[in-house]
């Protein structure tokens, strides 16, 4: 009876600094073959251990700004270091059209912009168990100056204030638990009413309905009623 939309779901995952978003997303992709990750463009230099086309698509600032002019991005933003990051529009639409669910890892501002263009987008916010845990994770990385750590904490508190705009919040206490919760959220989203494209009632069901609402039943089997209706 119910015909669901063939296009995939667009899923946005945001979160505070050191919430473990990347680790959770990698595990989700590993366990779910119908999930795809949209690779963002960036103007920042490639770092040791990164692969162009896998971690990001690395282009120059001039190329990025040209793409902005051409309307090639679904959303884009600048980091506190003045580097551009953007979500490609065409590639995303092509993946969704194939029926694959697509994960976007974007910040809260990018999530707002995409929500305006895709009202049906699924918004998930990932958090560390506590800000004390965030502090611990930043220190363990050992790559941030005191000034940069303060900036990260300021951003984290601002982002937490945006949680009411999201559909779900997931605490990443253990990666496997967070992955299980997000998989359950995605599965439940497939049953949302706005995923229904059409509701079709077959002739047999129409006849059954008529048969049940008649004031008097003639005691004929429903199969016989269907045969009469098809003559």
* 175 and 213 fall within a common domain: no
Residue range(s) defining the domain that contains residue 210: 201-230
Residue 41 pLDDT greater than 90, yes or no: yes
Give the integer Cα–Cα distance in Å for 212 and 59: 66
* 220 and 122 fall within a common domain: no
Q: With beta carbons less than 8 A apart as the criterion, state whether 132 and 18 touch.
A: no
Residue range 125-155, pLDDT digits in tens? 999 988 888 878 777 777 778 888 888 888 8
Longest dimension (CA), the chain: 85
* 82 and 28 fall within a common domain: yes
Q: Can you give the pLDDT at residue 27? A: 96
Rounded mean pLDDT, 18-27: 92
* 193 and 216 fall within a common domain: no
Residue range 62-119, pLDDT digits in tens? 999 999 999 999 989 887 678 999 999 999 999 999 999 999 999 898 899 899 888 8
Asked whether the whole model's pTM tops 0.85, one would answer: no
Give the integer Cα–Cα distance in Å for 173 and 129: 6
* 179 and 216 fall within a common domain: no
* 103 and 124 fall within a common domain: yes
Q: Which of 141, 162, 193 is nearest to 12 (CA)?
A: 162
Give the integer Cα–Cα distance in Å for 147 and 175: 29
* 76 and 174 fall within a common domain: yes
Residue 43 belongs to domain with CATH number: 3.40.50.300
Residue 172: how many other CB atoms lie within 10 Å? 23
């Amino acid at each position: 009876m119910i015909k669901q939309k063939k296009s995939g779901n667009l899923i946005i995952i945001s979160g505070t600094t050191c919430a473990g978003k990347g680790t959770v997303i990698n595990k989700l992709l590993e366990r779910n073959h119908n999930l795809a990750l949209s690779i963002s463009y960036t103007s920042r230099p490639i770092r040791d251990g990164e692969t162009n086309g896998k971690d990001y698509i690395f282009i120059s600032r001039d190329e990025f700004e040209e793409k902005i002019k051409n309307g090639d991005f679904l959303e884009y933003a600048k980091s506190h270091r003045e580097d551009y990051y953007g979500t490609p529009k065409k590639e995303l639409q092509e993946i969704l059209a194939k029926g694959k669910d697509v994960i976007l890892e974007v910040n809260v501002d990018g999530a707002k912009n995409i929500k305006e263009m895709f009202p049906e987008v699924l918004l998930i916010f990932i958090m560390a168990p506590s800000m004390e845990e965030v502090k611990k994770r930043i220190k363990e990385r050992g790559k941030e100056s005191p000034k940069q750590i303060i900036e990260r904490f300021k951003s984290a508190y601002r982002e937490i204030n945006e949680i009411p705009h999201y559909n779900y919040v997931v605490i990443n206490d253990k990666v496997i638990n967070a992955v299980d919760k997000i998989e359950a959220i995605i599965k439940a989203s497939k049953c949302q009413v706005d995923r229904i494209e059409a509701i079709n009632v077959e002739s047999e069901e129409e006849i059954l309905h008529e048969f049940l609402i008649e004031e008097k039943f003639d005691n004929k089997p429903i199969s016989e009623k269907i045969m009469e209706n098809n003559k």
